[in-house]
Structure 1
């Protein structure tokens, strides 16, 4: 599975790179400002150091966990033992993208944030650190990973996180129904077409003019590529930004419907 992912990404990156452009090619004032001040921002925030110190600690942790896989692929639902450091190496978003999510939340200041895929909590910690007056609902299927993530949040002193444990297929709808609106959603819970579109459409019921949705791993597989293409065409989706590994989705009626492919 991992080899197929690498091959799929390698095949699509040259196409993305040929289509992507930098600042001079952006004619939308909203996207121009976002790209210049947020996406390409290269300054330092204290939270970066805190979260990356936690990541470094996890990458050296030889604790063995029994993991239940609720993700995509033939191993879904199966239990197996994995070292904590291996989970940290394979599941957490790289610092570049965790810090991008931090900057997006810091910029838009959402109140209600959904993180569909907690794992050890690295990405969740970036989201929560950027908006301590907001509430982050993060979803994880495996009980043992849930416990570890909770410990990680305590280490960082993050008290604005509610971790929802259980199969996302069963927990997401209930949580969506309990919030008034969704201001920011990071989709990283399942990398197949049908669940991705189901989660997207479910969250769409609580979206609004200024919501921000971020789709992870756009080119992880043919199914994810198909989902991304369909999301871009959705009548409620008005602006998208393809950054190759992640895609940004906006619903701003004050801006024309446009799809951007930007270098990152």
Structure 2
């Protein structure tokens, strides 16, 4: 059922998606050309992908605590590291997209809602070593595994906030003056997604960038994405199918783009 529905969603996305010649907004045109479809290579890619290769061979088993919507692949409470790396970590294409977004916008305060083994976190941290990354993870055992991975890569600008995201996000937002960039990947249900989005709004500003993961993952996520697009504080959105980008740039007209990626 899920693969058929998602195949239809993807086909509809491809029918709507513009390529570069269909984009008339100067801001989005520049973003499309210099960030989304940037074809250059950064040394950080090699560092994180070498870690991914090692994790994909890791036979260790972890007891997993999941506060979110869970995995469509596995419902087991004990999972091998290699299986978590295979099914829960964002593919290199999207981790590297997040790297380029952070490298381009140079945010100082970055929130990541959902650490997992820390591959995406590492991309964020590599892109902005002078920034501060707060990554939120509910499972203590996965937190410890991720922290070892950060140590292996020599990343010192990451703080993992452990616990139930419904509580820890609000607590940590009170500790920062503003939020410059956030990757929302903590829960794939409608109400938590909208709640986390609205919480992030309390510390967002005109230059803040929000990235929502898996916007077509379920009917609830599609509903949340549509509601976020209509939100009065949201000025521009970009639908890349697997992720959605949200901007608050008041100098630009309110527009929603669907771009090929």
Q: TM-score, normalised by structure 1?
A: 0.96
Aligned with 1:219: secondary structure?
coil
Please state how far the C-alpha of 1:73 moved relative to its aligned partner: 5.2
1:193 aligns with 2:190: yes
1:210 and 1:139, CA in 2 relative to 1: closer, same or farther beyond 3 A? same
Q: TM-score, normalised by structure 2?
A: 0.97
Please state how far the C-alpha of 1:56 moved relative to its aligned partner: 0.2
Partners of 1:114 and 1:182 within 8 A in 2? yes
- Aligned residue pair count: 259
Q: Distance in 1 between matches of 2:255 and 2:83?
A: 39
1:74 and 1:104, CA in 2 relative to 1: closer, same or farther beyond 3 A? closer
Q: Deviations over 1:171-229 (max 9, x none)?
A: 00000111000000000000000000000000001000100000000100000000000
Q: Which runs of 5+ in 2 are unaligned?
A: none
Q: Which runs of 5+ in 1 are unaligned?
A: none
Q: Deviations over 1:96-130 (max 9, x none)?
A: 00000000000000000000000000000000000
Aligned to 2:115: 118
From 61, 77, 80, the equivalent of 1:80 is 77
Aligned to 1:45: 42
Aligned to 1:262: 259
Q: Deviations over 1:142-186 (max 9, x none)?
A: 000000000000000000000000010110000011100000000
1:149 aligns with 2:146: yes
Aligned to 1:230: 227
Q: Structure 2 matches for 1:177-192, cutoff 5 A?
A: 177-192=174-189
Partners of 1:238 and 1:255 within 8 A in 2? yes
Q: Structure 2 matches for 1:68-107, cutoff 5 A?
A: 68-72=65-69, 80-107=77-104
From 161, 165, 171, the equivalent of 1:168 is 165
Q: Distance in 1 between matches of 2:221 and 2:157?
A: 31
Partners of 2:71 and 2:88 within 8 A in 1? no
Partners of 1:110 and 1:184 within 8 A in 2? yes
Q: Where in structure 1 do 4 or more consecutive aligned residues deviate above 4 Å? A: none
Give me the CA root mean square deviation. 1.3
Q: Distance in 2 between matches of 1:139 and 1:219?
A: 22
Please state how far the C-alpha of 1:8 moved relative to its aligned partner: 3.0
Aligned with 2:110: secondary structure?
strand
1:249 aligns with 2:246: yes
1:79 and 1:213, CA in 2 relative to 1: closer, same or farther beyond 3 A? same
